[in-house]
Structure formats: C-alpha cells, structure tokens
Amino acid sequence: MKKVAVIGFGFMGITHSLNILKCKDLELAAIIEKDVDSVKAKIGQKIGNLSTGDVDTETLAKVPVYPTLELCTEIEKLDAVSVCVHTDLHYSMVKNALNKGLHVLVEKPFILNVNEGEELIKLAINKNRILMVAHVVRFMSPYQKLVEMIDSMEYGKLKFLSLTRFSGVPEWGQWKEKQKDFGVSGGALFDMVIHDIDFAAFALKENPEKIENTVLPGKLSNHDYVNATWHFPSKKLKVKIEGGNIFHANYPFQAGFTAVFENATVSFSSQTSEHIFIDNNKERVTIEAGDLGEGYFNEIERFSKSMETGFLPAKFSPESALETIRLCYRHV
C-alpha cells in the first residue's frame, strides 16, 4: 500500500483526500496545510461547486496534519503527494516533492510557465518518478462515453462539438484573496475553461489548425470568459468552446456538451447529470450518464496503478498536460 500526503486542504484537497481513502491500494498518511488549525474546521464543510460525495469525517479527523512537507517527511515515510494548492505554487511544490523522491499527482492546471513545466517533466524522468496532472474531465463517465462514440463512429462521423462551462466568480476558499493578485491564477481560461480545451484535444487526439476566439476580463484575469471556435478544415469539423466565471457569485455551476454526429445529436448537462440524451430525426433515447464525481476516484486510481507498475500511459502523461497549457495560450 502506497502512502500519500495531500498538500493543500481546500476543495480539491478535501476531494483528493476523500478519494484516496476510497482507493484500496493507497493510504492517506498525512495532510499538509500551512494553517494547521484550519483543517479540523474544514472537515465536513461544503466547499466548491461540485459534490464529490460525503467526506468521511471520522477517518479524516485521525489523519496527522503538518504545516510543511519537510516536517511531514521527517516523521512520515511517504511514497507520493497530491498537490492541491493554488497554481502559482505548483512549480515549487512539485519540484520539492520530486527532489525528495516522491511520486506526484498535481491538480490542473499543471503550470503557467511552459519552461517550468518542461523542467519538472525532465526532473520526474531523472528521478524515475510518476508525475501526473489531474485533468479530471478525462475520467468522468459522460465524457468517457462521448469519446467512445467518437472513436467507434456509432452514430457516424463527428461534425460539430460544443463544450460549455460556466460559474459565478468563486469567492470560497482563497479565491477572494486571488482577486487581489489579479492574473496569478491564470483566471477562468487556465483554471476552468482548460477542462474543455483539454478534453477536446484529448477526445479528438489532435489540436485545431485554427482558433478564432473572444475573451473578456473578470475579477481574476483578463480572460475570465472565453468564446472560441476551433477549425479542423481537413476533417470538415468545428468545435465550439465557451465558458467562464464573469457571472455573479451565486450563479450556479453548469457544464456540458452537445455533439452533432452524422446520424444523431448527443447531449449532456451537469444540471440533468443522470442522463445523456441521444436524438435523431424520429426519437429521443436516454442512457445513463454515470456519476460525475466518480471521475475524481478514477484519476486517483489511475495514479495508484501507475505508481505500482511504474508506467503512465501517454494519453495521461505530463507532456499531454503541458501541451494543453500551450493550447490555452493560443486562446489569449
């Protein structure tokens, strides 16, 4: 059983902790949070914009908490860390963990500086450690089903794909502080719309030949709203990606897709998350979408398997995550 510490105990830290507890091959050995006293208060709180299941408060409360990775590794024998801090800390945290010989799962976005990303990838190779970026939409059931439909051409060739993701401006956790540090988080483009940019490239297995894009500023960056059209002339395919968090804080989170194939239109929305709808010219068919929240467990399980085998499939590689960062910059 591999021992994992979670670094950062906001929404994503709690989510990763919960799913590490669910994984039979992993042990949640520690939580690392600079404000040690805040951890107890956060256990059981609702934080963030997507339910990922009930937190096992009793078990979490027994996990030791340390203010730094250095102190943690003096006491705990770790195999890996899950880095769930804000983006501007990813480089230093990941580098520190790799230099300590630890496997690393880091929340998206991987990094904002491409050169730093390349450095971390080389370091992971030199240390012979797994470095994986948690692009959770790749692991979410309804999106996985869409990839299967595209690959199998069950409904013919894909002609048009629309991906959307909206929320109010986040004011939970440390997001209020990040409004004072305008731009450091990467804004909605790198924190939110990146999900759909990454998924589109992942599902289609290639980048667009041309991108037409409009961005609008918000409270976090100059690109907190994105409205992009990807062009694939050789495939006669267009992809529309729209999303952002320029809306008022109470505006509900929503994400989804509409895929137009030759013989059917397939659609999904997080607001009716139980089902995927398949429409042709005569009827509507409904299939089960699966649990969106299970995507978080699926990515943790993938990380666990890769640590065990020493092999991370190329489609989940840090190189693929860094290519997503490059692709995001094409939208600026």
Helix (H, G, I), strand (E, B) or coil at 249: coil
Q: Which two tokens stand for residue 182?
A: 């305008």
Collect all residues with Cβ–Cβ distance below 8 Å to 169 and sequence separation of at least 6: 175, 179, 218, 219, 220, 224, 245, 246, 247, 248, 249
Q: What is the CATH number of domain 2-134+296-310?
A: 3.40.50.720
5 CB-side CA count, 13 A: 27
Domain 141-292, CATH number (from 3.30.70.270, 3.20.20.10, 3.30.2130.10, 3.30.360.10):
3.30.360.10
d(CA 143, CA 137): 7
Q: What is the DSSP letter of 34?
A: S
**Do residues 258 and 162 make contact, with C-beta atoms less than 8 angstroms apart?**
yes
Q: To which H or E segment does residue 96 belong?
A: helix 90-99
Rounded to whole angstroms, the Cα distance separating 267 from 47 reads 28
| Residue 25 pLDDT > 90 | yes
Which amino acid belongs to residue 40? K
| Residue 305 CA, distance from chain mean position | 18
Q: pLDDT tens-digit profile of 31-44?
A: 999 988 888 777 76
List, for residues 240-296, the tens digit of each pLDDT value: 999 999 999 999 999 999 999 999 999 999 999 999 999 999 999 999 999 999 999
Three-state SS at 170: coil
Whether the link from the prior residue into 217 is cis, omega within 30° of 0, is no
Quick one: pLDDT band at residue 61, thresholds 50, 70, 90? confident
Q: What percent of the chain has pLDDT over 90?
A: 86
* Integer Cα distance of 75 and 70 in angstroms: 9
If residue 240 lies in a helix (H) or strand (E), which one and from where to where? strand 237-247
What is the residue extent of each domain of the chain? 2-134+296-310, 141-292
Half-sphere exposure of 276 (CA within 13 A, CB side): 22
Domains 2-134+296-310 and 141-292 share a fold: no
- What b-and-e string marks burial along 208-236, b requiring 16 or more CB atoms within 10 Å of the CB? beebeeebeebbbbebbbbbbbbebeeee
* Banded pLDDT at 174 (limits 50, 70, 90): low
Mean pLDDT taken over the chain: 93
Q: In 10 A of CB 89, how many CB atoms? A: 13
pLDDT over 90 (residue 153): yes
